[in-house]
A and B are shown apart, each in its own frame.
Chain A
Amino acid sequence: MSAVIRTDNLQKYYNPGEPLEVRALDGVTLEIERGEFTAIVGPSGSGKTTLLNIIGGLDHQTGGSAHIGDTEITAMNDNQLIDFRLNNIGFVFQAYNLIPVLTAKENVEFIMLLQKRSKEERNTRTEELLKEVGLEDKMNNRPSEMSGGQQQRVAVARALASKPQFVLADEPTANLDSQSTADLLDIMADLNQKEHVTFLFSTHDQRVIDRARRVVTLEDGKIISDEKK
Chain B
Amino acid sequence: MVIASIAMGIWAGLFVISVSAGLNEQRTKDALNTYISHVQIHNPEFVKDNNVEYRIDDMDKVRKTLSGNAAVKSFSERVVLSGMVSSSAGGFGARITGIDPEQEKSVSTMHEKLVDGAYFEGMKKNPVMIGKKLAEKLKVGLRKKVVLTFQNDNGDILTGAFRVVGIYKTSNSKADEMNVFVRASDVNRLLEENAGYHEVAIIVNNLAEVDTVSSTISASLPNLKVQSWKEVSPDLGYADEMMMQMLYIIIGIILMALSFGIINTMLMAVLERKRELGMLMSVGMNKTKVFFMIVVETVFISMVGGPIGVVLGYLTVSHFGSAGIDLSVVGKGLEEFGISTMVYTNLEPRFYLNVTVMVIVAAILSSIYPAIKALQLKPAEAVRAL
Contact = CB atoms under 8 A, between A and B. Distances in A.
B is bound to A: yes
Interface of A: 53, 56, 58-59, 79, 82-83, 85-87, 91, 93-95, 97, 99-100, 111, 114, 158, 162, 170
A51 to B, nearest CB: 12
A93 B284 contact: no
Interface string B145-164: 00000000000000000000
A146 to B, nearest CB: 16
Given A91-B282, A158-B283, 15 more contacts: A58-B282, A58-B379, A59-B380, A82-B281, A82-B284, A83-B284, A85-B283, A86-B283, A93-B282, A95-B383, A95-B384, A97-B275, A97-B278, A97-B383, A170-B384
A114 B283 contact: yes
Closest 5 interchain pairs by CB?
A: A86-B284, A97-B279, A58-B380, A53-B380, A85-B284
Given A58-B379, A58-B380, A97-B383, A83 B279 contact: no
A91 B275 contact: no
B327 to A, nearest CB: 47
Contact of B384 (A83, A94, A100, A114): A94
Given A53-B380, A58-B379, A58-B380, A97 B284 contact: no
A111 B285 CA distance: 8
Q: Which of B281, B283, B380 has the most CB of A within 10 A?
A: B283
B103 to A, nearest CB: 72
28 contacts: A56-B282, A56-B380, A58-B282, A59-B380, A79-B286, A79-B287, A82-B286, A82-B287, A85-B284, A86-B283, A86-B284, A86-B285, A87-B284, A91-B279, A91-B283, A93-B275, A94-B384, A95-B383, A97-B276, A97-B278, A97-B279, A99-B276, A99-B280, A100-B276, A111-B283, A111-B284, A114-B285, A170-B384
Contacts of B276: 97, 99-100
Interface string B257-286: 000000000000000000110111111111
Q: Which of A58, A86, A95 has the most CB of B within 10 A?
A: A58
B240 to A, nearest CB: 49
A94 B276 CA distance: 13
A16 to B, nearest CB: 19
B112 to A, nearest CB: 62
Contacts of A95: 275, 383-384
A86 B380 CA distance: 15
A53 B381 CA distance: 10
Q: Which of A56, A85, A162 has the most CB of B within 10 A?
A: A85
A12 to B, nearest CB: 11
A115 B318 CA distance: 52
Contacts, number: 56
Nearest to B380: A58
Nearest to B279: A97
Contacts of B281: 82
Q: Which of B281, B284, B287, B289 has the most CB of A within 10 A?
A: B284
Nearest to A99: B276
A158 B278 CA distance: 15
Nearest to A94: B384
Interface in B47-71: none
B372 to A, nearest CB: 15
A56 B283 CA distance: 10
B382 to A, nearest CB: 9
Contact of A162 (B284, B287, B380, B384): B284
A53 to B, nearest CB: 5
Nearest to A115: B284
Interface in B103-129: none
B286 A85 contact: no
Nearest to B284: A86
Interface string B277-321: 011111111110100000000000000000000000000000000
Nearest to B282: A91
Contacts of A162: 283-284
Contacts of B383: 91, 93, 95, 97
B334 to A, nearest CB: 52
B253 to A, nearest CB: 34
A93 to B, nearest CB: 5
Contacts of B287: 79, 82
Contacts of A94: 384
B360 to A, nearest CB: 23
Contacts of A170: 384
A146 B377 CA distance: 28
Contacts of A53: 380
Contacts of A83: 284, 286
B245 to A, nearest CB: 44
A114 to B, nearest CB: 6
Contacts of B380: 53, 56, 58-59
A58 B384 CA distance: 12
A218 to B, nearest CB: 17
B268 to A, nearest CB: 16
Contacts of A82: 281, 284-287
Interface in B344-386: 378-380, 383-384
Nearest to A78: B287
B280 to A, nearest CB: 8
B318 to A, nearest CB: 37
A100 B277 CA distance: 12
Nearest to B386: A95
Nearest to A81: B284
Contact of A85 (B275, B282, B378): B282
